[in-house]
Structure 1
């Protein structure tokens, strides 16, 4: 009887997340439903955090680390049936194999909507609380609305589920573009597979330069194999950007919209030399780029190789310190 009741409740839950998409002219699941929803809370947030510092990783624990992770590079609305600009709010949720619970990538209410002016504009994604562990499948839930003049005028804009299959892309470092065409738009989610990942958490401090005005420019990061697809950490052009309203903290640190990047270990053999002093032919490398203002030619690129944790560079009027905390990706995957 208990199993039968759970099955019935699961079917009721699936019905509740089934909606008619007028663009596809079909009924679709708008949320994750691979588990029995009688025993799974779709709204529970993941509490898993980063793993221990990389230099503290024990040799006996290496086999517990995920074989791959995913970096979310960008999320764009490449087609809008209602044109541009549009004021967008709602949620984008990622679910990985650590626990398949909610990790928010985008979470805005209607009073904090983001204006999208063209197909090239990126939604301002937030930093995930940890790196993703993905050996098989990762799920993304999109639920975006257009803000109208009043709440009654709000309309569904993009809604549905994107499934990223890690197995198909494990050996390739090329970014993968997933498209979701639904309701009144087509959304492009660009992500990249990261083999044998470790985590890099980035912090940027202004050592010399004006701290009483926003840092005007762009900060991006990338890893080996993705030189043409940067993860935007910060962007401000004097009016708008992918950054927090509090652009510079009292200690001179620049508030990054995103600060975590999964970095590949070039070969699994190198994992056994992380705590050794000998130089390796292949390094664990993170690149960080600073662009002054809107001039793409005025750029400064810094390279950090594990176990290096900080470096200082000059960009425009600023002297900047870049710090990186190297951690393991959370490795208690079930």
Structure 2
């Protein structure tokens, strides 16, 4: 793992002292320090602690109370002096990384908070056989889930989380948002659902070069002044050619954020334009449901480790109801997935039973991968039919290729 810091001896000493203290606290951290600055003393990369997949631990899930037990008088986390110092150091490191990004990319890429504006359908309407040179089939990262687990039970009940989780690739170095919640729309984590509700990336994450991840999460308190930092951290996926499911842990003394993802080679991006109930009675999602995609097609398992969950009424903010628009359209949480050229894209649609803990009906449909254009297919689920519409597009390796 690598971390960049200030070039002054004082800052370097302070940072190394803090790093040593963290390593001495146990086997929760394993990294080495590299202070890499340019000739002007400015950090030239946005890298801090990178925690590799070989990093192992035995995380303890947060012990959360039922909603019925939540009151305004709920106990809140009281940080020790050491805890406060650790969070302050994390904030300083994050701020240092921001300065490094602004120094390296600010002139060409805008503000640090700017989001990527490249469309996942940039090459969708190309003519087959006449696709521009800038359109590529490159390696991408498929993000499956981001999970929050506890480390030593410091966080008290209840746990309402808000903030940002984002990725930056070498296409434009801007934020590609994975999770974004404001304080007034925070997410409640429970033992049954410790996963952040991801909202895409807005386009495929290109993994030809390194990919930087940013985590800025807070826990909502009884008032804004009582809010507490949960994690402020950056880490880097440095690439490589390993295959299969990969897990990376980003950890501090309060929690561990667990990223589950996979590197796919020679991919196109599929944008799910719509999922619409076009025929059927009774309504198939009376008690809620779930829609997932996978490539290559995977059997649905309890862990759902290699399934991209596009929508799940059990994890929605609508009280367990399937989030719907007008004319039978289902409101999906995620829309963009990566698909390898040699594979197909499968959708599995499930309708929950009245008890809510079983699948009453299930159907699936597969799409053949395309370089461009739009595909439609019908998935039968019981007596109902759901139409899935997918837009296909190749990717841009760098934004300058399409300017």
Task: With the length of structure 1 as denominator, give the TM-score of the two structures.
Answer: 0.78
Contact 1:204 1:320 in 2 (8 A): yes
CA distance in 2, matches of 1:62, 1:120: 44
Contact 1:220 1:230 in 2 (8 A): yes
Alignment correspondent of 2:185: 112
In 1, Cα distance between the equivalents of 2:200 and 2:339? 15
**1:303 corresponds to:** 366
| TM-superposed deviation, 1:215 | 7.1
Aligned residues: 301
Give the deviation of 1:225 after TM superposition.
Answer: 7.3
Task: Specify the alignment match of 2:94 in structure 1.
Answer: 30
Out of 71-80 and 135-144, give the one that drifted further.
71-80
The RMSD of aligned alpha carbons is 3.5
Is 1:321 aligned to residue 387 of structure 2?
yes
Residue aligning to 1:79: 150
The residue that corresponds to 2:337 in the other structure is: 261
Q: CA deviation at 1:127?
A: 2.3
| CA contact 2:215–2:232 (8 Å) conserved in 1 | yes
**1:219 paired to 2:291:** yes
Where in structure 2 are there 5+ consecutive unaligned residues? 1-37, 47-80, 300-304
Larger RCO of the pair (alpha carbons < 8 Å, separation 6+): 1
Residue 249 of structure 2 aligns with which residue?
179
Q: Distance in 2 between matches of 1:188 and 1:288?
A: 25
Closer, same or farther in 2 for the Cα pair 1:33/1:21, shift >3 Å?
farther
Partner of residue 209, structure 2? 136
**Further displaced range: 147-156 or 292-301:** 292-301
Give 1:286's match in structure 2, choosing from 345, 348, 351.
345
TM-score by length of 2: 0.65
Q: Deviations 1:45-96 (Å, cap 9, x if unpaired)?
A: 2222223027636567467525201111001102263156511001111101
Unaligned runs of 5+ in 1: 1-5, 15-19, 267-283
SS of the equivalent of 1:325 reads strand
Task: From the superposition, tell whether residues 296 and 229 of structure 1 become closer, same or farther in structure 2 (CA, over 3 Å).
Answer: farther
- CA distance in structure 1 between the partners assigned to 2:351 and 2:337 by the alignment: 22
| Pair 1:207–1:64, CA change in 2 (3 A) | closer
